[in-house]
């Protein structure tokens, strides 16, 4: 069982541009943890560091787990799937299984895929081409693929983006059930503050070089909301705000 994720003093730069600057926080096992902030703040980069896809220049991510290596499921920010894509939903889910020597599934692997689809309430879509599914149905399939290896941690990069409000609610309710019933730690990025307030146990607000962490009420009722809705440097609060900046050194554009 996963007890904690510890992010300690992460530093990431690309082409000389600082993306993450000494970021530190803990996530408890079984927690719904949201990450919010402007475009370009490094949210997706942070998830990729946790996933191990990006190696930081400094700092580290550690997992405190009981007697096994931590397994991470990941749903990336966007996937373009043509309507004519013929792959069946169940076969798409099976792509999340560990690499195997033969191209067909064993009986045990077929059961594993079935269980993942049952957990994400999409088993009825198993024999449908993924290209013919609605946006909400596809997201369930994407999450099922991430769940097929029975992860300790589920990373979601804007998984409710481009869904209608009803589909967003259904998706987050599903994710919350996975978290509560199976003890899965969920870290999700969202621009929807209603979703964050409704479903997050705690929230990390990020802006380039700055961050604030707390429960949803502390962060969303504070200056983070004001900051998020200022579109340009000129419009940002200069003397009162979540972060105080030296004169003439405001943070990056938000949108």
How confident is the model at residue 162, as a pLDDT?
A: 82
Domain assignment of residue 132, yes or no: yes
Are the CB atoms for 127 and 159 separated by under 8 Å?
A: no
- pLDDT grade for 92, boundaries at 50, 70 and 90: very high
Domain assignment of residue 142, yes or no: yes
Share of the chain above pLDDT 90, in %: 61
CA distance 200 to 24: 19
What CATH number has the domain bearing residue 164?
3.40.50.300
Find the radius of gyration of the CA atoms of the chain: 19
Share of the chain above pLDDT 70, in %: 85
CA distance 240 to 113: 52
Give, to the nearest 10 degrees, the angle between helix 135-147 and helix 165-182: 20
- Is residue 47 over pLDDT 90? yes
Domain assignment of residue 124, yes or no: yes
Domain assignment of residue 212, yes or no: no
Domain assignment of residue 190, yes or no: no
Domain assignment of residue 50, yes or no: no
Domain of residue 126: give its range: 78-153+160-182
Domain assignment of residue 138, yes or no: yes
> pLDDT tens digit string along 212-248?
899 988 888 765 666 665 544 444 433 333 333 333 3
- pLDDT grade for 39, boundaries at 50, 70 and 90: confident
Q: What is the model's pTM?
A: 0.85
Overall size of the chain counted in residues: 255
Q: Per DSSP, what are the bridge partners of residue 44?
A: none
Q: How many domains does the chain have?
A: 1
Average pLDDT of span 194-205: 93
Domain assignment of residue 34, yes or no: no
* Exposure string for 3-41, b = 16+ CB within 10 A, e = fewer: eebebeebebeeeeeebbbebebebebbbbbbbbbbebb
């Amino acid at each position: 069982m996963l007890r904690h994720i510890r992010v300690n003093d992460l530093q990431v730069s690309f082409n000389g541009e600082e993306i993450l600057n000494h970021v530190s926080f803990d996530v408890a096992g079984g927690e719904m943890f949201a990450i919010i902030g402007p475009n370009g703040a490094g949210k997706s980069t942070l998830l990729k560091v946790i996933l191990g896809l990006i190696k930081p220049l400094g700092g580290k991510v550690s997992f405190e787990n009981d007697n096994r290596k931590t397994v991470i499921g990941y749903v990336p920010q966007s996937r373009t799937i043509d309507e004519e894509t013929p792959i069946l939903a169940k076969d798409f889910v099976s792509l999340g299984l560990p690499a195997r020597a033969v191209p067909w599934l064993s009986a045990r692997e077929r059961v594993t895929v079935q269980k993942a689809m049952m957990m994400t309430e999409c088993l009825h879509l198993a024999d449908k081409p993924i290209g013919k599914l609605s946006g909400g149905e596809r997201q369930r399939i994407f999450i099922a693929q991430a769940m097929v290896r029975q992860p300790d941690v589920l990373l979601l990069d804007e998984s409710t983006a481009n869904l209608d409000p009803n589909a967003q609610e259904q998706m987050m309710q599903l994710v919350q059930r996975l978290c509560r019933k199976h003890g899965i730690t969920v870290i999700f990025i969202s621009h929807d503050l209603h979703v964050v307030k409704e479903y997050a146990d705690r929230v990390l607000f990020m802006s380039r070089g700055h961050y604030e962490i707390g429960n949803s009420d502390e962060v969303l009722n504070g200056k983070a909301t004001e900051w998020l809705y200022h579109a340009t440097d000129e419009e940002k609060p200069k003397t009162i705000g979540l972060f105080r900046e030296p004169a003439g050194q405001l943070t990056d554009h938000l949108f």
